[in-house]
């Protein structure tokens, strides 16, 4: 995985790490191209609940840890016009939750 910052957006390039990975299966079925689109959200659990209430099908019941220090959840492509949609929430730790030696920087 490689991330490229473009303005306020990021482009993530994905590659298969094994022949049976989800990315390898996607490439075998559909070829190279866009795999999914991601949206940053402030409260991933609330957003999952809201979207499920609107009829979208979630691929996971709870958010999981994803790349780039994010909690992630996905919407099933069949409920999103054929597009795999990812919800992303920045993982923010309170200072008392950080391991010794880590610092919180205020940019």
pLDDT-based confidence at 54, cuts 50/70/90?
very high
Residues 45 and 22 placed together within one structural domain of the fold: no
Taking the CA of residue 103 as centre, how many other CA atoms within 13 Å lie in the half-sphere pointing to its CB? 3
Q: Is pLDDT at 33 greater than 80 in this prediction?
A: no
Residues 30 and 63 placed together within one structural domain of the fold: no
107 inside domain: no
Residues 3 and 45 placed together within one structural domain of the fold: no
Residues 43 and 87 placed together within one structural domain of the fold: yes
Please list, in sequence order, all residues whose beta carbon lies within 8 angstroms of the beta carbon of residue 60, skipping any fewer than 6 positions away: 73, 74
Structurally, the chain folds into a number of domains equal to 2
Task: Give the range of the structural domain holding residue 43, as residue numbers without chain letter.
Answer: 36-93
Give dist(CA 16, CA 102) in Å, integer.
Answer: 32
pLDDT, tens digit, for every residue of 15-27? Answer: 888 989 888 888 8
Q: What is the pTM of this model?
A: 0.68
């Amino acid at each position: 995985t490689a991330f490229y910052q473009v303005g306020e957006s990021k482009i993530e390039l994905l590659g298969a790490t094994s022949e049976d990975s989800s990315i390898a299966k996607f490439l075998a079925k559909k070829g190279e191209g866009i795999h999914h689109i991601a949206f940053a959200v402030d409260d991933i659990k609330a957003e999952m609940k809201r979207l499920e209430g609107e009829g979208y099908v979630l691929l996971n019941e709870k958010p999981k840890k994803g790349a780039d220090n994010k909690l992630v959840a996905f919407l099933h492509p069949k409920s999103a016009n054929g597009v795999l949609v990812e919800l992303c929430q920045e993982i923010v730790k309170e200072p008392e939750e950080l391991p010794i030696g880590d610092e919180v920087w205020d940019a």
